[in-house]
Structure 1
């Protein structure tokens, strides 16, 4: 029986509709199975949403810096692509930016929370932080418990784990109240606390230690809740499966080779040991003396390809920026050179600040170049500083001891722990160069790192709005990545 034209039209329409549905399904399937990691590699750029902050991302003398930036740049290099940092203000913009596909990942000091895990994927955690309630002891009576917060003006950043913590405390203390801000960063809250606009806030422990040198009157009231894990975030889509897998490999590698531990130590750990007396003295000298010698320091730093803040930190440690300084052992001048060292460096007048600075810079560079090739930057800088203080011979003894104790003689963090052993007969007696006050060398390096970070973060507080796009396919090769931050 022949098929009627009407039936044929129906069949044709049915087939057309079926093809349309099939195409839609195929397109949808293609979308679901797309690979963001492959796209990143094809485009040659990793786009990263971030926020400004001394523990996250900022500009240092025109160069990008910060702990999260250092991690993101290392990951971009791991992928062999460029890095594009996209700074935004507030966590709302971070999350909306991810939702709008403005970036591939967010590296912004994000805590992993159950609420966020409902809509986001998180990579491996790279650090755990505590939540500190902080107050200004000059403006408030001591705060030591949640009950003491009742009636206080508390402000936190909205959409953070800090809000969740306050809500949890409110269940036990219904009268507890607070304000939330969408367009502020941690440093803004700290400034409000310093100015008396608020009575208390919550900051992560790493942020507190990174900034407390500028706020010596701040105190920790108490730590609330369990430590929170920080991680990178991305949209919850199957297209990110391979990206998560590669990210896991990357973090496993830098954890195994010690790079992650070194980044954390450089950015955060040393701040927990800084004394307020040293900080107060430094800030006073920075105001009273640094302006008189800053121009000379900058000029010499340019001549010897050094960061001026690094040279300023060394000269402060040596002489407190006093060109006429003298020690009981006879070293003199801005860089406290001995007679023999001055002679070797062709410094005729140790009390001439320019001659002294140039001599000290030459000496540091000479020591830097003579270190074993296996010591990489920025650890190489810390070794050169230790040698400036204690000599290459004693430093080599400490490296030998480090290896004997199972440590890595090319890592400053390991050798720093061995330096004090040069005071102990058990260790210095069999050493080639014998006894040395190795603990003073370790302290010497630590102080210079502290002073350098203070100068760096001072600039952050004044210039913390970066340009919109930073693209780099290599790791910065010296001190601009050493503290910033961690």
Structure 2
């Protein structure tokens, strides 16, 4: 009988344990017990994937002709891979993207460093190596090693992974200190180094490469530590299905070579705006322009522009190379995107006649679409800026100009506001978000300089011969014209 009593007691205890487990399962939110493919199944059922990201040049931003950015292209392709549409929330910095995806959304793609200490998150396979880099203000003694950091005011972005590298370095160099913020982005960090608010900054190599053209007062220092890894973050609550599909997608892109091609396109060039000296320009004027001069004249007759202005724009875009292709995929002598080419009736972007005609008509369209209140040269310069950065970003800069008490119809005032589109404080309040706002300022100034040279040469053949002779003189190190620097 005691043995029977024990068995009855054991059965009752098992039953109580099962009942308790049932109560726990009922009271615990379902999201913690989803099967492996749970979130993946949800994404496919609702027919879209929701991604948290950042509005930066290395992740996602509205470019010259629509959304672009390294991770945006990956996100768009991943959505196509899953057979669903894509929705983005780009109002984040790194930490807020991670915090939010824990509770809602499907993944975070925000130039995130792989961090296995993060709670309730799982990560994709590696996407990109992230090499931390120390940069410093020009004019300081060269900083080539950690020993040179003593006494410098250093800044970095919290949560980006560079702060982790600094902490590891601090273990070896206790005297090292720095400032960090989760509210700054790379352009603002570099701006603070250039204006003297910081002596130095730690960011990633690829970030400096695509921003350095706007910050000539910032020097490359030295790599810090070993590379980190960029990855996507998924909520652990959603199971492994979506992460596994992302890994399969990324592995396929790696095998096909498309991922390497994307990295090279976005981060393999830091010189696509080139500030050429007189000798190179005169050489191209002598060797290339005669082939296309009549095409520029014909386009000028059709659009009402000075042919030399159109030629100057064409030189800025491609150096009069009809087969030119930019890192972002625009092509031809006037560097048209596929959508723009279709809009102006260009079937073959590599055909010089079609490209020059199409680019000239596109510039005319932009000029006509500007508000009537913008007159004279201001109207022309803003149309050229829009050719580079897009009308939406130009309008955002005009809005900022007004907020700053300037004249939104004055190019002189608007060009001061355009670089602010690189700063989160400003672009977060605009309709079209982040833009590489320093580019159109440089772009317009370059075209005006080239136009001045072309006008000078066109005015007098004798003057041209003298200039060409001087440009090809014995002193190779002395360009006739100063290099044009960003107005930042």
TM-score between both structures, scaled by the size of structure 2: 0.58
**2:101·2:108 contact (CA, 8 Å) conserved in 1?**
yes
Matches within 5 A, 1:47-126: 47-60=50-63, 63-99=66-102, 101-116=103-118, 119-126=120-127
Deviation at 1:384, TM superposition (A): 9.2
Deviation at 1:141, TM superposition (A): 2.0
Measure, in 2, the Cα distance between the counterparts of 1:281 and 1:54: 28
| Residues 137-164 of structure 1 deviation map (CA, whole Å, 9 limit, x = unaligned) | 13x2221111111111112122332122
Going from structure 1 to structure 2, the CA distance change for 1:202 and 1:261 (only over 3 Å counts) comes to same
Unaligned residue ranges in structure 1 (runs of 5+): 1-10, 283-317, 365-369, 393-450, 471-486
Measure, in 2, the Cα distance between the counterparts of 1:80 and 1:228: 31
Q: Indicate yes or no: 2:427 matched with 1:464.
A: yes
Paired position in structure 1 for 2:266? 267
Measure, in 1, the Cα distance between the counterparts of 2:299 and 2:180: 61
For 1:216, what is the secondary structure of its paired residue? coil
Bigger mean CA offset, 221-230 vs 72-81: 72-81
Going from structure 1 to structure 2, the CA distance change for 1:80 and 1:460 (only over 3 Å counts) comes to farther
Measure, in 2, the Cα distance between the counterparts of 1:330 and 1:220: 35
Paired position in structure 1 for 2:25? 25
**1:170·1:176 contact (CA, 8 Å) conserved in 2?**
yes
Bigger mean CA offset, 453-462 vs 104-113: 453-462
Deviation at 1:191, TM superposition (A): 1.4
For 2:248, what is the secondary structure of its paired residue? helix
| Residues 412-463 of structure 1 deviation map (CA, whole Å, 9 limit, x = unaligned) | xxxxxxxxxxxxxxxxxxxxxxxxxxxxxxxxxxxxxxx9699999585276
Paired position in structure 2 for 1:231? 231
Matches within 5 A, 1:170-189: 170-189=170-189
Matches within 5 A, 1:125-144: 125-138=126-139, 140-144=140-144
Paired position in structure 2 for 1:337? 292
Measure, in 1, the Cα distance between the counterparts of 2:25 and 2:284: 81
**1:132·1:205 contact (CA, 8 Å) conserved in 2?**
yes
Deviation at 1:179, TM superposition (A): 1.6
Deviation at 1:258, TM superposition (A): 3.0
Measure, in 1, the Cα distance between the counterparts of 2:48 and 2:350: 43
Paired position in structure 2 for 1:381? 331
For 1:270, what is the secondary structure of its paired residue? coil
Deviation at 1:233, TM superposition (A): 0.8
**1:89·1:183 contact (CA, 8 Å) conserved in 2?**
no
For 1:56, what is the secondary structure of its paired residue? coil
Measure, in 2, the Cα distance between the counterparts of 1:184 and 1:469: 19
Q: Indicate yes or no: 2:286 matched with 1:328.
A: yes
**2:299·2:307 contact (CA, 8 Å) conserved in 1?**
no
Deviation at 1:241, TM superposition (A): 0.7
**Aligned pairs, how many?**
339
Measure, in 2, the Cα distance between the counterparts of 1:88 and 1:349: 44
Deviation at 1:42, TM superposition (A): 1.2
Measure, in 2, the Cα distance between the counterparts of 1:274 and 1:378: 10
Unaligned residue ranges in structure 2 (runs of 5+): 1-10, 337-347, 354-386, 394-417, 434-488
Going from structure 1 to structure 2, the CA distance change for 1:151 and 1:24 (only over 3 Å counts) comes to same
Paired position in structure 1 for 2:168? 168
Matches within 5 A, 1:83-482: 83-99=86-102, 101-116=103-118, 119-138=120-139, 140-237=140-237, 239-271=238-270, 278-279=274-275, 327-329=285-287, 331=289, 337-339=292-294, 341=295, 352-353=305-306, 357=310, 379=329, 381=331, 460-461=421-422, 464-465=427-428
Query: Structure with the greater relative contact order (CA < 8 A, sep ≥ 6): 1 or 2?
Result: 1
Measure, in 2, the Cα distance between the counterparts of 1:356 and 1:162: 45
For 1:381, what is the secondary structure of its paired residue? coil
Going from structure 1 to structure 2, the CA distance change for 1:382 and 1:20 (only over 3 Å counts) comes to farther
Measure, in 2, the Cα distance between the counterparts of 1:114 and 1:19: 36
| Residues 100-132 of structure 1 deviation map (CA, whole Å, 9 limit, x = unaligned) | x2321110001113434x642111212112100
Measure, in 1, the Cα distance between the counterparts of 2:431 and 2:51: 12
| Residues 216-239 of structure 1 deviation map (CA, whole Å, 9 limit, x = unaligned) | 2211211011111111111234x3
Going from structure 1 to structure 2, the CA distance change for 1:330 and 1:153 (only over 3 Å counts) comes to closer
Deviation at 1:68, TM superposition (A): 1.3
Deviation at 1:23, TM superposition (A): 5.9
Measure, in 2, the Cα distance between the counterparts of 1:194 and 1:173: 26
Going from structure 1 to structure 2, the CA distance change for 1:326 and 1:183 (only over 3 Å counts) comes to closer
**1:58·1:65 contact (CA, 8 Å) conserved in 2?**
yes
| Residues 194-235 of structure 1 deviation map (CA, whole Å, 9 limit, x = unaligned) | 111011111111111110010122112110111111111112
Measure, in 2, the Cα distance between the counterparts of 1:346 and 1:157: 48
**2:266·2:328 contact (CA, 8 Å) conserved in 1?**
no
Going from structure 1 to structure 2, the CA distance change for 1:80 and 1:220 (only over 3 Å counts) comes to same
